[in-house]
Amino acid sequence: MIRLRALEREDLKQLRDWRNDPDIFSRVREYRLLNMENQEAWFNSLRDNRQTIMFGVINQLIGKIIGVCGLINIDWIGRKAEISIYIGDKSYRQKGLGIEILNALAKYAFEECNLNRLWAEVYESNQAGRRLFIKAGYAEEGVLLSHAYKNGRYQNSHIYRLLRDECQENVVP
């Protein structure tokens, strides 16, 4: 149902609007609302940034961007990266697409980038995100207590991981 493609400059307004949505903003590390200048600077930085690979998540039926995912903080020597993912279009949430996106991203990371380890940080208040990583075959490695200040309070961060050797055929198609 989905495919990953390179982000385009035309996506930036939509990405800004999604990232400024209070629901998404409460789940990401960003500490300020974004404007188009922020989005342009970020997009331009991707061209030469070897530690970040981002994709638009496209609904194949209608050819429309519905979210964003990628590998960030890539360590090419240690062969590991952090996962970044959100479905911005609310009409596509809670439909199982998150697992499909994570599977496609893991396949890309392990097969195309030759990475060995993927990991994600999910705030304690993001129950849907925590369930998503477990359903996608990630193991919870631990909890960083009072690690993030978000939504006016300190929150614990849950750390999830997926190792190449742990992948089963039903996790990464």
Written as one letter, the residue type at 133 is: F
Helix (H, G, I), strand (E, B) or coil at 171: coil
CA separation for the pair 75, 51 (Å, rounded): 7
Residue 173, in any domain of the structure: no
- CB of 75 within 8 A of CB of 81? yes
Residue 14, in any domain of the structure: yes
Q: Which stretches within 6-157 are classed as H helix?
A: 12-20, 22-25, 36-46, 97-107, 127-135
Residue 172, in any domain of the structure: no
Residue 171, in any domain of the structure: no
Residue 31: per-residue pLDDT: 87
For residue 136, the domain's CATH number is 3.40.630.30
Low-confidence residues of the chain: pLDDT under 50:
169-173
Helix (H, G, I), strand (E, B) or coil at 141: strand
User: To 5 degrees, how large is the angle CA 39–CA 149–CA 161?
Assistant: 80
Residue 151: per-residue pLDDT: 83
Residue 137, in any domain of the structure: yes
What residue numbers bound the domain in which 102 lies?
A: 2-166
Residue 101, in any domain of the structure: yes
Residue 135, in any domain of the structure: yes
Residue 6, in any domain of the structure: yes
Residue 72: per-residue pLDDT: 97
Written as one letter, the residue type at 140 is: E
Among candidates 167, 170, 107, 115, which has minimal Cα distance to 138? 167
Residue 164: per-residue pLDDT: 96
- Number of domains forming the structure of the chain: 1
CA 6 to chain centre: 14
> Locate tokens 């991707």: which residue?
46
Q: How many residues are there in the chain?
A: 173
Residue 168: per-residue pLDDT: 55
Cβ neighbours around 71 below 10 Å, total: 22
CA separation for the pair 28, 68 (Å, rounded): 13
